[in-house]
Amino acid sequence: MTEKVAIASDHAGLPLKTVLKEMRSDIEWIDLGTHTPDSVDYPDYASALADCIGKGEAKRGVLICGTGIGISMAANRHKHIRAGVCHDVTTARLTRLDNDANVMCIGARIIGLNVALDCLEAFLKTDFAGDQPDGERHKNRVGKFS
Ligand code: RB5
């Protein structure tokens, strides 16, 4: 895998972020923190990742907090971010296919490592249905976000 993928978490997501990166060392990660177990505010990490994607340093990103919910809410405040909370292969696949999500959010207190790895694989390998010849409706729907 040569594509750069941005990743960030709060303290609750740090252990899962660390192991995910180790298990998928084939990916060129841009790790935006947090790097210590000290309590931090997840919106700061959502913003750092949104900025990274906004600057074109990575096309896609992974955000991890306790539930995946707070960090997705914060990420979606940024107009260029489409962040989906994923908790299994199906949600990870469909948030790419239907929503053209550029950020996958996962909850370290919700899913385990193997499910997270499966989500990551599905998220990275699934293309947006809107880019297929019969996918105009998906493009229209995602276009209505803004
Ligand atoms: C941190 O304790 C926790 O609130 C945060 O990681 C997240 O789950 C919020 O949505």
Domains and CATH numbers, the chain: 4-143 (3.40.1400.10)
Q: Looking at residue 85, what is its pLDDT?
A: 98
Under 8 Å CB-to-CB from 98, ≥6 apart: which residues? 129, 138, 141
Query: Which tokens belong to 35?
Result: 């790097």
Query: What separation in Å is there between the alpha carbon of 116 and the centre of ligand 1?
Result: 17
Ligand 1 atom nearest the C-alpha of 13 is: 6
Mean pLDDT within 67-78 = 98
3-state secondary structure of 105: strand
Query: pLDDT digit string (tens) for 83-131?
Result: 999 999 999 999 999 999 999 999 999 999 999 999 999 999 999 999 9
- Answer whether 69 contacts ligand 1 (Cβ < 6 A): yes
- Answer whether 45 contacts ligand 1 (Cβ < 6 A): no
Task: Verify cis geometry, omega within 30 degrees of 0, for the bond prior to 34.
Answer: yes
- Answer whether 10 contacts ligand 1 (Cβ < 6 A): yes
Mean pLDDT within 17-26 = 98
pLDDT at 1 over 70: no
What's the pTM? 0.97
Q: Looking at residue 102, what is its pLDDT?
A: 98
pLDDT at 3 over 90: no
- Answer whether 42 contacts ligand 1 (Cβ < 6 A): yes
- Answer whether 12 contacts ligand 1 (Cβ < 6 A): yes
Residue with the two structure tokens 């919910």: 69
Query: pLDDT digit string (tens) for 32-61?
Result: 999 999 999 999 999 999 999 999 999 999
